[in-house]
Structure 1
Amino acid sequence: MRRIGNTSIATVTVAALCGGAWLLHGAGHAPPQPSVAEGLPDPGEARLTAPALPPSPPDRIRIPSIRVNAPLMGLRLTSSGSLDVPPAGQKNLAGWYEAGTTPGETGTAIVAGHVDNIEGPAVFYDLGALKKGSAIEVDRRDGSVARFTVDAVEVYAAKNFPDGKVYGAAKRPELRVITCGGGYSRTTGYQGNVVVFAHLTGSS
C-alpha cells in the first residue's frame, strides 16, 4: 500500500454508501440531517489544537453522543477512482482511507460508513444529529487514543459537493466523518452526504 499523506483526494466520491436500501424497501424513515446552525462557526470560538501524533493506523471510532462504537477497516480507491466502502452487510463497521492521513497526524484523515442497509440503521445513521463541540475518539494501533472535537456538521448535495473543503490538505490534525444524507429518491438513493468536520484536541 502506498500512503499519499496529507494531500487532496478531490476526485474521491462516496456514492457507493448511498443506496438507501432500508428506505427503498419502505421499512424505515430518513436519518436526521444537520441544521444550518451546526455548519456555522461560533464567533470567537477557541481553536485549541493538540500536538500532532505520529502516523498509526486506526482500529476503532467512538462518538459517544450518538452511540457510535465501531471497528475501522482500511479503504482504498476503486478502479473508477471512488472511495471503496465497508461491506454493506456489516452494520457496525466503518472505514478509513488508508492511503491518506492517519487520524491524529497532521493532515486530513477520512472516515466513512453506511447510513443504513437492508436490515435498518447502520453505523452512521445518526451522524446528522451530531452537534458542534461533540467528542470523537479514535483508537490507534500504537495504543494511543486521538481525541477530536467537532467543528461543524454539514450536508451537501452530490452535485455541489465541495471536494477541496472536505478532502483538502490541512496544516493541523483534522478528521472528516462522512455518510449519506440530503434528499432521498427511491430510484437513485440519497442525494448527498453528511460531513462532520473535527480537529484534534487531545490524546492519551
Structure 2
Amino acid sequence: MGTTPRSPGGQGVIALFTAGAMCTGLWLIGHGAQAQGPPPQPSADQGFGARPPGSRPSAAPAPPPPPLPASRPLRVRVPSVGVDAPLMRLGLDERGSLATPPEEDRNLAGWYENGNTPGTTGTSLIAGHVDTRSGPAVFYNLGSLKKNHTVEVARADGRTAVFSVDAVEVYGGDAFPDKKVYGRAARPELRLITCGGGFNKARQEYLGNVVVFAHLAAVKREPAPRRGTG
C-alpha cells in the first residue's frame, strides 16, 4: 500500500503495520472470493459521531468495571460474527513493524505483547488476517460489526474482559490515523484490526484497514472445567 512501517512509540502505541503481509490479499478477490464475496466493510453509520437511521437515544450505560490487572489473553470471541479464536503473542519483525500470525492457521489472531493486555488501563491491540491463501480468515467479517456489539477476551487468570464496540471505521492506507488508533487511553480500550477498504487486483492488496474501537464494559469468570466423576 506504500505505507512505511514505523517503530513503536511507547506503551500502548505501536507501529503502523498495514504495508506488511496483513494486507497483501493472499486469497485473491475474483479467484476464490467469487462464491464468498469480498469481506464486508463498515458503513458510515458505525463510525464515531454517527447515529444509525431510526435509532433512539439509549438509557445511561451502566458504570464500567474497574480496570483489570495484567494477564495474558488466551482467546478472542466476537459472537455476532462467529469469531472464536486462540490468541498468540505478536512482537515486531525485522523492519520494526508488527509481526503477523502465520498464514497456515486461518482461525488465529494475535495480541501485541509489548503493549497493554486487554482489560488493563490503556489501548490494547488484537490483529488478524482477513484472508489467507486458502480462504477467509479469522477477521474476514470484522467489517460487519456494529456499535454495542461485544468482544470477549478470555484471559489466563480465569476472567473474561467483555468490551462494547464504540465504532467501526475503515481507513485508506494513506490516511491511517495512528494516534487515534494506537494512542494512549485513560480507560481499558481495545482495537481489533484487519485489512479492508477495497481491493486492488492489479497490486493484489487491500487498500486500507478496518478498525474496531471498543471499551471494557463488563468482566465475567470463565466456567471452571468439569471434574471427572471417577
Q: CA RMSD in A?
A: 1.8
Q: Distance in 2 between matches of 1:25 and 1:106?
A: 42
* 1:27 alignment counterpart: 32
Q: Distance in 2 between matches of 1:42 and 1:33?
A: 16
Compute the displacement of 1:81 (Å). 1.5
Q: Are the counterparts in 2 of residues 49 and 172 from structure 1 also a CA contact under 8 Å?
A: no
| 1:38 partnered with 2:46 | yes
**1:101-134 deviations in whole A, cap 9, x for unaligned?**
0000000000000001111110000000000000
The amino acid that maps onto 1:14 is T
| 1:18 partnered with 2:23 | yes
| Aligned pairs (5 A) from 1:32-71 | 32-41=40-49, 46=60, 48-71=63-86
What SS does the corresponding residue of 1:21 show, helix, strand or coil? coil
Q: Are the counterparts in 2 of residues 31 and 125 from structure 1 also a CA contact under 8 Å?
A: yes
Q: Distance in 1 between matches of 2:11 and 2:148?
A: 24
What SS does the corresponding residue of 1:37 show, helix, strand or coil? helix
CA shift in 2, pair 1:189/1:65, >3 Å: same
TM-score (norm 1): 0.92
Q: Distance in 1 between matches of 2:110 and 2:41?
A: 21
Residue ranges of structure 1 left out of the alignment (5+ in a row): none
What SS does the corresponding residue of 1:32 show, helix, strand or coil? coil
| 1:138 partnered with 2:153 | yes
| 1:120 partnered with 2:135 | yes
Q: Are the counterparts in 2 of residues 6 and 106 from structure 1 also a CA contact under 8 Å?
A: no
Q: How many residues align?
A: 200
* 1:86 alignment counterpart: 101
**1:142-187 deviations in whole A, cap 9, x for unaligned?**
1111000000000000110000000000000000000000021121
Compute the displacement of 1:21 (Å). 1.7
TM-score (norm 2): 0.82
Q: Are the counterparts in 1 of residues 13 and 182 from structure 2 also a CA contact under 8 Å?
A: yes
CA shift in 2, pair 1:192/1:60, >3 Å: same
* 2:176 alignment counterpart: 161
Compute the displacement of 1:24 (Å). 5.1
Q: Distance in 2 between matches of 1:65 and 1:121?
A: 17
CA shift in 2, pair 1:136/1:191, >3 Å: same
Compute the displacement of 1:196 (Å). 0.1
Q: Distance in 2 between matches of 1:77 and 1:25?
A: 32
**1:21-75 deviations in whole A, cap 9, x for unaligned?**
2125711031000000100346776464321000001000000000000000000
Compute the displacement of 1:78 (Å). 1.2
Compute the displacement of 1:12 (Å). 3.0
Compute the displacement of 1:5 (Å). 7.4
1:179 to 170, 194, 206: 194
What SS does the corresponding residue of 1:8 show, helix, strand or coil? coil
Q: Are the counterparts in 1 of residues 123 and 189 from structure 2 also a CA contact under 8 Å?
A: yes
